Structure 1
């Protein structure tokens, strides 16, 4: 595993749990609004953290945190993710994985082997618009397959979208609603313009206001069982 960072404590990244976050290096997307460029662009990678250091840290966090979030980057591009997660589970922690859904096979393996307790999958856009957002060629069948796997599992999961007004319309959200119809949980996240964005042209993009976020939530509640707003 290439690990680019660790956050010792989070009260928000794993719903209703206290967690630590491990950030993996590398991603197969180049999402225009992504602010984690140091974890995505190889030329910006810092020296990876040794796994021994990670497990030593987690040993000290026993009894202080409930779970560990594996985020990125994109964790599922790392072939040794299942082995890494298994070691974390054996320490007694819950595991949440953040993913873009491109590795349906690995997601299925993690679920079938009971190596994950919660998965958060990004829904970037309507499926036909993915490449406009991610700036790479996308195997759309893999995205749809991962959605199907999650919705047919007994696992706790959520789908989520970062709302960038210049990239996504209200009609786009209707299309996404149809993609994940009857999903248990969907979260709308407000875009955050920063200097570290992959697409520098979005640095001056206006954030959606609460009325616009509520409008999206109103649309999505027609399709999913529960919709929340994260600002």
Structure 2
């Protein structure tokens, strides 16, 4: 397995832990505001052999508290199970970021105790995913992933990037209803400075929501989940 990037230290990517971040390339979504555009296109900003990653993790024992794996979409890579096994064998907790499109992979990782935390992005109400996926059955896959995570994951959160025109009070409430009873739902602002997968997405107008607008979203979601936060 070839990794496409390594961030050696992070205080924000694995809740409650100092982690490193491993980047996997390739994605099956077409989110216009994606800020990892090169990874979404399947490119390699860097190339790291798995053996080099393992050597790095061995050298950071006692300093790092966990490993976050992100992308792109990590569950698309055939080596994701072996990567998680190798990281867990070194004694590190594993956090996985996913778009929820591969529920079977999530079930395997959870059943084999290879992940300790899953963060699943939900882009929009599940019935309205056409701006993000060309897969006509994505609703079923997302629903299966939500159910698997809520029923089986050791720890988890669902996240929504709040960018216009996709997110407003109505859409946030619909998303929250689809994860009713979830442990944690995170609303995160769109990074206005990011270079997007669609280069024009944040050039003609500002899709970001103000701090006040973000605060107004929270009460629309909070009644349906155990904890709703703005990050």
How does the TM-score come out when normalised to structure 1?
0.94
Match of 1:226 in 2: 227
Question: Displacement of 1:165 after TM fit?
Answer: 2.0
Match of 1:96 in 2: 95
Q: Distance in 2 between matches of 1:154 and 1:197?
A: 31
Question: Displacement of 1:154 after TM fit?
Answer: 5.0
Instruction: Confirm or deny: 8 A CA contact 1:193 1:202 kept in the other structure.
Output: no
Correspondence list, 1:33-182, <5 A: 33-42=33-42, 44-132=43-131, 134-138=132-136, 139-153=138-152, 155-182=154-181
- Runs of 4 or more above 6 Å deviation: none
Match of 1:213 in 2: 214
Q: Distance in 1 between matches of 2:100 and 2:5?
A: 22
Question: Displacement of 1:46 after TM fit?
Answer: 3.4
Match of 1:184 in 2: 183
Question: Displacement of 1:201 after TM fit?
Answer: 2.3
For 1:133-169, what per-residue CA distance to the aligned partner results, in whole angstroms no more than 9, with x for missing partners? Answer: x152252211100000111125100000000022222
Question: Displacement of 1:53 after TM fit?
Answer: 1.2
Query: 3-state SS of the aligned residue for 2:135?
Result: coil
Q: Distance in 2 between matches of 1:137 and 1:111?
A: 25
Which segments of 5 or more consecutive residues in structure 1 lack a partner in the other structure? Answer: none
Q: Distance in 1 between matches of 2:194 and 2:111?
A: 40
Instruction: Confirm or deny: 8 A CA contact 1:187 1:228 kept in the other structure.
Output: yes
Answer with 209-218 or 116-125: which moved more. 209-218
Question: Displacement of 1:210 after TM fit?
Answer: 1.2
Shift in CA distance, 119/195, structure 1 to aligned 2, threshold 3 Å? closer
For 1:11-56, what per-residue CA distance to the aligned partner results, in whole angstroms no more than 9, with x for missing partners? Answer: 11111111000000111111111010111113x4335211111111
For 1:65-94, what per-residue CA distance to the aligned partner results, in whole angstroms no more than 9, with x for missing partners? Answer: 110000000000012211110110010000
Query: 3-state SS of the aligned residue for 1:161?
Result: strand
Query: 3-state SS of the aligned residue for 1:18?
Result: strand
Answer with 220-229 or 197-206: which moved more. 197-206
Q: Distance in 1 between matches of 2:229 and 2:202?
A: 25
Provide the aligned length of Structure 1 versus Structure 2. 228
How does the TM-score come out when normalised to structure 2?
0.94
Which segments of 5 or more consecutive residues in structure 2 lack a partner in the other structure? Answer: none
